[in-house]
């Protein structure tokens, strides 16, 4: 389980707007924002309102893409993320499908966010 994840992004506004728009079916919203010496920092949350995904400016040398998996409440929500990501012009790495190599009820879509990170929406049926 992830408590929180912080990503360094080229443009906090663009990254926050992307996550809030594309992952709206998962209940993602911008819960808080503050200014730091390195620029704005946005805290995104799911339905519980607790900021778990933090977006801040580039502070390390270079960019290090990461993989982030967000829990979807249903397969329909995964499909909706896929459609919204396509509408946003995101690179789709893997269209929604069952991934039996992970487990028989693993249904996910993989895409790139504006900074090149590999982001997934996944629904588990146990």
Q: In sequence order, which residues have a C-beta less than 8 Å from that of residue 47 and are 6 or more positions away?
A: 27
What's the pLDDT tens digit per position in 77-90? Answer: 999 999 999 999 99
pTM beyond 0.85, yes or no: no
Place of tokens 């707007």: 17
Give the residue extent of every domain in the chain: 5-124
For the domain made up of 5-124, the CATH class stated in words is: alpha beta
Q: What are phi and psi of 59, to 5 degrees?
A: -120, -15
Tokens of 61: 């040398």
% of the chain surpassing 90 pLDDT: 77
Instruction: Tell me how far apart the alpha carbons of residues 30 and 75 are, in angstroms, rounded to a whole number.
Output: 24
> Phi, psi (5° rounding) for residue 61?
-65, 125
């Amino acid at each position: 389980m992830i408590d929180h994840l912080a990503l360094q992004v080229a443009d906090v506004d663009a990254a926050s707007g992307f996550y809030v728009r594309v992952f709206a079916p998962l209940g993602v919203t911008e819960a808080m924002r503050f200014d730091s010496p390195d620029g704005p920092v946005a805290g995104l949350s799911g339905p519980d309102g607790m900021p778990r995904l933090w977006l801040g400016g580039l502070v390390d040398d270079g960019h290090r893409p990461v993989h982030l998996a967000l829990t979807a409440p249903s397969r329909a929500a995964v499909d909706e993320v896929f459609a919204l990501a396509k509408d946003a012009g995101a690179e789709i790495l893997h269209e929604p499908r069952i991934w039996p190599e992970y487990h028989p009820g693993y249904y996910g879509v993989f895409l790139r966010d504006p900074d090149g990170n590999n982001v997934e929406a996944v629904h588990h049926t146990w």
